[in-house]
Structures are given as structure tokens and as C-alpha cells.
Amino acid sequence: MDEDQFILRLPPELSSKMRFLLSSKSARGNSSAPKDETGTPRFNLVFLNDRHATLQVDGVLYPATLMDLPSVVESHKTFDNSTHFKSADIHQVLVVRNPNDTPPDNERLVDGLTPASKGAGVRNSIGKSDEDAEKLAAVEAQIKYVVDHKVSFVQKKETVVSHTPEKMEKKKRKEEKVDEVMEEEKEQVGEENDGDDVMDSFADMLAAELMAGEGEGGGEEMMEVDGGEKEEVEEKGKESVQREVVMKEVSALEREADGIREQIRKMSNPVIKKRLEKKLEDHMNVLTAKRKQMQENQK
């Protein structure tokens, strides 16, 4: 589309005369306006500025105002009254008035061209912006510069923090799950430390019981055992208890590892799943160390 079109709206007494003049112009097959006996064109349209014009018809001057439609309409052309081709988008009307009529207050029409668009200017009106006029003008100048110079740029992604109650609740639940996982890890570390303390206490207790049992069974033999043999018996008792405690710890750690694997298999949340995988990795490191310790005790 390379045509610029507008609608010409005339007073009733002038519309019939202009329709006749335009039809006679079309019948002649040329683009010049019809002329009177003196050779002067019978009508002429002159724009004074972007919004105001003057229409001269048979020597009479009629003021006109170029006004905006509330919505854009299309114009079409046809050669056989069957197939139509779009020729332009029309969004302005040149309203011609009688010389004594009052000019319009604004440059925008309230009603459209069809009954359905009556009052469209009021329905589609945009309220006054609260933004600063200077700021808007600066933004418009920047946009115009980008469009005119075809500037290409990459916009950085910004993280938008939403404070809706639903998202805040979802974030809170997510943090609670993370805290639960961290608490389980702390409890696991505490249980491992407690296991080491219990192992030492069990070893001391078993050594004491062995010593007491040997004292009751044969006091005379105990009298004959020197200090080196007594320490050897205590050391063997401790090693036996340590082996038993390490075996129990390895068995418990294996069960916990199986439980963590089951949680990872059922977990759909990627964040919690990743934390569980990290927990399983640390758990397996502890289990490997315990197994190595158990193998050394068995030698």
C-alpha cells in the first residue's frame, strides 16, 4: 500500500455539488479539476498546516479540520465488484464546515463511521499518563534513534521478585524442606560421633567384665599374671568390642544408604533431589571409611 487517503466529510448542501464535480472529473478521464467559464478550477483544497485546510468551491471558501477517527478503517478497490483489494488504512477525516460554524474543540472524533462504532472514542480513550512528560519525550527519542539507525542490542535478563502470597508460601515450604534435609545430616553426624563414644565405653566395660570374671574364677592365677599379660588381655577385649561396634555401624549405614536411594528415586523436586544425592555421596564416604576400618580390625 503506497496510497495516503482520508475521508472528506461535507455539509449536506455542499456534498451534492462536490459529488457532481468529482463525477464529471472522473467522466473526463483526466486528473484536473473542472473549470468555470473563466478557466478557474471550480474547487481547490489547500492545507494551511497539519490540521487545518481551506476548501474553495465556486469561489466560496469553506474552513476544514483534519480529525482523527477513534479506530482505523480499511479502504478497498475493485474492478469487477467481486474481488476487492485493500488499498490503504484510513484513520483521519477532513471535516468541512460552513464559514459561520464553530470550529471543533479537539482533533479527535467521538463517533466512528458505522453505527457500531458510535461512542468508540469514549470507550477506547486512554487516560492521562502519570509519567513525567520530559521522561516520556526522552524515551521516545531513544526509541526513534534505535528504529532510525537499526541498532541491535541484547537485553539483560532481570530477576523479578514476586511477593504474592502463593509464591511466598511455596518458597517457605521449599526452605522448610531444605532445613529438614540439613537437620537430618546434622543428626547423622551426631550419631556417628555418639557411636565412637559408645564404642570406647563398651570396650572399657567389656574389659572390666573380663577382668572381673577372671578374678572370680581363679584368684591365684591372677596373682601370678604379671602386668604385661594383663594389658594384653585388656587390649584383646577392646579389639573384639571395636570389631562388633564397627560391624553394627556398617550394617546401619548400609540400611540408611538404601533408604536415601529410595527417597531419591521417589523425589520429583530437583532441588531436594540434588541435596539428597549430596547426602548419599557423603554417606557413602563414611560407609567406605567404616568398611576399611572393619577390614583393618579383622587382620
Question: Which domain, by its residues, includes 116?
Answer: 7-124
Amino acid 32: pLDDT = 63
> pLDDT-based confidence at 217, cuts 50/70/90?
very low
Per-residue pLDDT, averaged over 253-263, amounts to: 85
Task: Name the grid cell of 34.
Answer: 473542472
Q: Specify the pairing of strand 52-57 against strand 43-47.
A: antiparallel
198 vs 288 pLDDT, higher one = 288
Rounded CA-CA distance 247/254 in Å is 11
The 43-47 sheet, strands edge to edge: 7-9, 84-96, 60-78, 52-57, 43-47
How confident is the prediction for the chain on average, in pLDDT?
A: 75
Per-residue pLDDT, averaged over 123-129, amounts to: 71
> pLDDT-based confidence at 291, cuts 50/70/90?
confident
Rounded CA-CA distance 192/189 in Å is 5
Rounded CA-CA distance 246/223 in Å is 34
Q: How many CB atoms lie within 10 A of CB 241?
A: 20
Q: Is residue 288 part of a domain?
A: yes
Question: What proportion of the chain, given as a percentage, has pLDDT over 90?
Answer: 11
Task: Name the grid cell of 219.
Answer: 584368684
Amino acid 221: pLDDT = 42
> What confidence tens digit (pLDDT) does each residue in 99-113 have?
888 888 888 888 888
Q: Is residue 28 part of a domain?
A: yes
Amino acid 215: pLDDT = 46
Task: Name the grid cell of 40.
Answer: 478557474
Alpha helices in the chain (DSSP H): 12-28, 120-123, 133-149, 165-217, 219-224, 227-266, 270-298
Q: Is residue 117 part of a domain?
A: yes
Most confident of 94-98, 153-157, 165-169, 205-209: 94-98
116 vs 171 pLDDT, higher one = 116
Amino acid 226: pLDDT = 47
Query: Domain boundary residue among 73, 97, 124?
Result: 124
What SS3 state is found at 77?
strand
Query: Domain boundary residue among 124, 156, 172?
Result: 124
Say if residues 269 and 177 touch (Cβ distance below 8 Å).
Answer: yes
Is residue 65 scored above 90 in pLDDT?
Answer: yes
What SS3 state is found at 153?
coil
Q: Is residue 164 part of a domain?
A: no
Is residue 193 scored above 60 in pLDDT?
Answer: no
Q: Containing H/E element for 129?
A: none
pTM: 0.39
Is residue 173 scored above 50 in pLDDT?
Answer: yes
Q: Is residue 31 part of a domain?
A: yes
> pLDDT-based confidence at 205, cuts 50/70/90?
low
> What confidence tens digit (pLDDT) does each residue in 11-41 have?
988 888 888 887 765 445 555 667 766 777 7
Task: Name the grid cell of 236.
Answer: 584383646
Amino acid 219: pLDDT = 45
Number of alpha helices (DSSP H) and beta strands (DSSP E) in the chain:
7, 5
Q: Is residue 194 part of a domain?
A: no
Q: Is residue 232 part of a domain?
A: no
96 vs 210 pLDDT, higher one = 96
Query: Domain boundary residue among 124, 151, 169?
Result: 124
Amino acid 154: pLDDT = 59
Please tell me the total count of domains within the chain. Answer: 2
> What confidence tens digit (pLDDT) does each residue in 235-244 have?
656 667 777 7
Is residue 206 scored above 80 in pLDDT?
Answer: no
Q: How many CB atoms lie within 10 A of CB 111?
A: 14
Task: Name the grid cell of 87.
Answer: 488499498
Q: Which amino acid is at 166?
A: E
| End-to-end Cα separation, the chain, in angstroms | 95
Q: Is residue 92 part of a domain?
A: yes
Task: Name the grid cell of 131.
Answer: 509519567
Nearest C-alpha neighbor of 94 from the set 61, 59, 62: 62
Q: Is 150 left (phi over 0), alpha (psi -120 to 50) or beta?
A: left
DSSP secondary structure string, 180-233? HHHHHHHHHHHHHHHHHHHHHHHHHHHHHHHHHHHHHH-HHHHHH--HHHHHHH
